[in-house]
Amino acid sequence: MKELGTKTVADMVTENIKTAHVFKKYGIDFCCGGGISVEKACEKANVDYDLLANELLNVDNNISRATNYNSWELDFLTDHIINVHHSYVEENIPLLLQYSDRVAQVHGQYYTELLEINKLFKEVAGELSAHLKKEELILFPFIKKLVKAKKENTEVPQANFGMVDNPIKMMEVEHEDAGEVLRKISVLSNNYTPPESACNTYRAFYAKLEEFEQDLHQHIHLENNILFPKSIQLEKQMKTA
């Protein structure tokens, strides 16, 4: 912990770009003002050094989820999607918007693709925020009602949208739209590869964008390939029982 405190913020970010997101979270300048030690940066930003150091040391400790999602109950799977993937999107959109605006403003004159990336990310951010709410307020509660009715051997719940495949089809179209926007961003960013001269904010932006796309792929996989088909199947089984 002490050794970490003597390293400069810029050195930490150069060694591992993921640390940039921790510094950003605590309002510590890792780009132009990154030449001071982590300890000094904490003093300057009035941040608890031990708290920050712990997050920096654990930035790569991703818990392995070698999980058979296909075996999970659907109500449990919906909670997992909300708690893990919806939360990730909601927490990271504001950070990415800050990065995107800053990088486009500073470097967009020379790297014009950043202006298009900025526009595209704002578009997908707005669409995803609305999409998550539709799932959380309409579709997922109905899926939970289906599971409850199955367990309690009661009638299939009625919904004003008809069969469950109606909102599911809408969600799948929105998944495809979001995926297409991120594919465009990936192409424009040369598969999230910043130029050699890129500053740390620029590099952090691309690294976070890539992470965001990977999380969205997992998120959509759980819904399109497991939750949605199983929900449709469950409703059909209950209606014919």
For 133-161, the pLDDT digits (tens) are 999 999 999 999 999 999 999 988 888 88
Q: Is residue 63 part of a domain?
A: no
The count of C-alpha atoms lying within 13 angstroms of the C-alpha of 88, restricted to the half-sphere facing its C-beta, is 15
Q: Is the pLDDT of residue 40 over 60?
A: yes
Q: Is the pLDDT of residue 81 over 50?
A: yes
Shared domain for 38 and 151, answered yes or no, is no
Query: Considering only 2-6, 45-49, 88-92, 93-97, which range has the smallest mean pLDDT?
Result: 2-6
26 and 47 Cβ atoms separated by less than 8 Å = yes
pLDDT of residue 65: 47
pLDDT of residue 2: 56
Shared domain for 51 and 90, answered yes or no, is no
Residue 167 tokens read as: 């909102």
pLDDT of residue 133: 97
pLDDT tier for residue 1 given thresholds of 50, 70 and 90: low
Label residues 212-222 b or e (16+ Cβ within 10 Å = b). bbeebeebbeb
Average pLDDT over residues 21-48: 85
Kind plus residue range of the DSSP H or E element containing 79: helix 74-80
Shared domain for 158 and 113, answered yes or no, is yes
Within 8 A by CB and 6+ apart from 208, the residues are 21, 92, 95, 96, 99
Shared domain for 25 and 122, answered yes or no, is no
Shared domain for 32 and 115, answered yes or no, is no
CA atoms of 181 and 67, how far apart (whole Å): 29
Q: Which of 97, 113, 115 is nearest to 212 (CA)?
A: 97
List pLDDT tens digits, range 92-149.
999 999 999 999 999 999 999 999 999 999 999 999 999 999 999 999 999 999 999 9
Classify 65 as helix, strand or coil. Answer: coil
